[in-house]
């Protein structure tokens, strides 16, 4: 029987999400309210983060949308 190694999801903080997407903080939260960007998860009383895989999927979808003819 082989053991599968499970990797923990990577969490991105807001500054990292801004750098990765090129979006400003206010734009990110506008997209979240509109339901067009992944919602953050709570990391504590005053901190949130985004799951990297969800942000990457959002970016890939934007790339695919922009490449459609």
User: What digits encode the pLDDT tens for the residues 9-51?
Assistant: 999 999 999 999 999 999 999 999 999 999 999 999 999 999 9
Whole-angstrom distance, CA of residue 47 vs CA of residue 40: 10
Is residue 6 in some structural domain? no
Predicted pLDDT at 3:
61
Predicted pLDDT at 36:
97
Is residue 38 in some structural domain? yes
* 67: nearest Cα among 59, 36, 28: 59
Number of domains present in the structure of the chain: 1
Six-digit token string for 21? 């997407």
Whole-angstrom distance, CA of residue 2 vs CA of residue 5: 10
CATH code, domain with 39: 1.10.238
Predicted pLDDT at 69:
63
Q: Per-residue pLDDT for 4 more than 80?
A: no
Q: Per-residue pLDDT for 1 more than 60?
A: no
Is residue 4 in some structural domain? no
Whole-angstrom distance, CA of residue 48 vs CA of residue 2: 35
Q: Which domain holds residue 38?
A: 11-67
Is residue 53 in some structural domain? yes
């Amino acid at each position: 029987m082989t053991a599968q190694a499970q990797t923990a999801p990577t969490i991105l903080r807001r500054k990292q999400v801004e750098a990765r997407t090129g979006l400003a903080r206010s734009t990110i939260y506008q997209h979240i309210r509109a339901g067009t960007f992944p919602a953050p998860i709570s990391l504590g009383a005053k901190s949130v983060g985004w799951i990297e895989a969800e942000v990457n999927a959002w970016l890939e979808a934007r790339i695919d949308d922009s490449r459609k003819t």
